[in-house]
Amino acid sequence: MLKLPDYIGPLAFGVKMGVILPGTDLLSEIVAALKKVAADGLLADSDVICVTESVVARAQENYVTLDQVAAEVKNKLKIEKNSKVGVVFPIASRNRFAMVLEGIAKAVPEGEVIVQLSYPCDEVGNQVISPYLAEKLTPAGGIIALSELTPDHCLHPVTKVNYPVMYQEIIEGQGAKANIIFANDPLAVLQSDPDGVIVADIHNRRQTQQKLLSHFANVITLQDLCNEGKYSSEWGLLGSNMSAGDKLKLAPQNADGFAKDLQQQVLAATGKQVEVLVYGDGAYKDPSTGIYELADPMPVFGKTDGFHGRFREGIKYKYLADVCYEEGKSREEIEAALAEQNLAALPDDLELTEGTTPRRIEDVIASLADLVSGSADAGTPVIVVKGFL
């Protein structure tokens, strides 16, 4: 039987699973996989079981069609097929927003869709206009029209996709008129006289909505669409991904409930008291591209109760070693004080967490799980994290 030696610190590893299809009994399959992990001595009390939200939602069959999205848009905004709809601050993404926009445009095939993009980058750091060009522009009324730019001005430096033009083509493909503008003040969209506005940014959606509501009444967010009924999510279209055909996969329903059910079943099957979280995008920024990877509303969609109120606060070992060595303490004395948590043996004015920023422990673990799983591309939608709790 395998067992990790005592000299191994915190770690995470992926658990390979078979293909998870709509309707799969995901709880049973994960428990069966974790029983093997436990049998090999690799599962312990206080381990964290991380399950990617995509397989939870897929097993729940939590999909909506573009026709359903269009119907939601018409119902929530009380608009007609020839109405004008404003869409403010969407991110530049084929996977995350292109099909959402298609559903919105489908609601007004004889009307108009005004897409207002922030510039030079979207909310998560995707470039939509060359920063050099953006510095040179002095738009009248704070608005730049797509017609004022050349295609190379809007080419994404990494994906090489011209997202503004792609969004224009998606809207026109549904028969509607496309009006693509660039402005950083959300109120700019009101200059196009829309009948309703959809706030499409992710992390600042409430602030954006409130600013618009102070001048215009008919404003909703993506979270308000597809957030009710059998196939829906409390996050609405936030956290949705393109799927096969004309369907969007939503974020999972009742992810907290799933996490707690899995915790109980793992305890019954293995005798191990673990914590469970359902994770999405990790909260980290790519240092090369400047893109902030968190396109989901948060890293964690659901979790068990053991995470509440817990923060990751690291001890600054390098700083501590330098200070204590300067005080004349030996390596053995410093290590013994830390091992026994004997703070009295350390200098009175020593701040152990000097320079650290407390973060919610579930966000740290979810980000780690996302990096390990590669968004489940490695066939490991379940990650076991050890040594953090």
Of the given ranges (69-73, 126-130, 322-326), which has the lowest mean pLDDT? Answer: 322-326
- Position 217 scores a pLDDT of 97
Single out the residue of 72, 87, 78 nearest to residue 201, CA to CA.
87
Q: What is the rounded CA–CA span in Å between residue 250 and residue 238?
A: 8
- CATH 3.30.1330.100 domain range(s) in the chain: 11-61+251-312+360-386
Identify which has the larger pLDDT, 206 or 310. 206
Query: Is a pLDDT exceeding 50 seen at residue 55?
Result: yes
Compare 133 and 173 and report the one with higher pLDDT. 173
Q: 11-61+251-312+360-386: which CATH number, 3.30.1330.100, 3.30.70.1150, 3.100.10.10, 3.20.20.70?
A: 3.30.1330.100
* pLDDT for the residue 313: 56
Q: What angle do CA 201, 202, 206 make, to 5 degrees?
A: 80
pLDDT tier at 132, thresholds 50, 70, 90: confident
Ranges of CATH 3.40.50 domains, the chain: 63-249
Overall CATH class of domain 63-249: alpha beta
pLDDT band at 377 (very low <50, low <70, confident <90, very high): low
State residue 342's pLDDT score.
47
Give the chain's mean pLDDT.
Answer: 88
Q: What is the pLDDT of residue 338?
A: 61
Q: Among 32-41, 53-62, 124-133, 243-252, which stretch is predicted with the lowest mean pLDDT?
A: 124-133
pLDDT of residue 356: 56
HEC letters along the chain:
CCCCCCCCCCEEEEECCCCCCCCCCHHHHHHHHHHHHHHCCCCCCCCEEEEEHHHHHHHCCCEEEHHHHHHHHHHHHCCCCCCEEEEECCCCCHHHHHHHHHHHHHCCCCCEEEEEECCCECCCCCECCCHHHHHHCCCHHHCEEHHHCCHHHHECCCCCCEHHHHHHHHHHHCCCEEEEEECCCHHHHHHHCCCEEEECCCCCHHHHHHHHHCCCCCEEEHHHCCCCCCCCCCCCCCCCEECCCCEEECCCCCHHHHHHHHHHHHHHHHCCCCEEEEECCCCCECCCCCCECCCCCCCEEEECHHHCCCEECCCCHHHHHHHHHHCCCCHHHHHHHHHCCCHHHCCCCCCCCCCCCCEEHHHHHHHHHHHHHCCCCCCCCEEEEECCC
pLDDT at 294 over 90: no
With a CB cutoff of 8 Å and minimum separation 6, the contacts of 320 are 334, 338, 346, 350, 352
Q: Identify which of 2-6, 26-30, 144-148 has the greatest average pLDDT.
A: 26-30
Q: Does the structure show a pLDDT above 80 at 40? A: yes
Rounded distance, CA 327 to CA 324, Å? 5
- The CA distances from residue 338 to 232, 273, 331, 346, in Å, are 49, 27, 11, 9
Give percent of the chain above pLDDT 90.
67
Cα→Cα distances 13→35, 82, 253, Å: 15, 53, 26
pLDDT tens digits, residue range 7-24?
Answer: 888 899 999 988 899 999
Give the sign of the dihedral formed by CA 283, CA 289, CA 290, CA 294: negative
pTM: 0.87
Confidence (pLDDT) at 289: 83
The per-residue pLDDT for range 188-240, each reduced to its tens digit, is 999 999 999 999 999 999 999 999 999 999 999 999 999 999 999 999 999 99
Is pLDDT above 60 for 371? yes
- Tell me the Ramachandran region of residue 358: left when phi exceeds 0, alpha when psi lies from -120 to 50, beta otherwise: beta
Mean local confidence (pLDDT), 298-320: 77
pLDDT in tens, 336-370: 766 654 444 445 544 554 445 667 899 999 999 99
Please compute, for residue 53, the number of CA atoms within 13 A of its CA located in the half-sphere on the CB side: 31
Q: Which is higher by pLDDT, 281 or 3?
A: 281
**pLDDT for 314:** 55
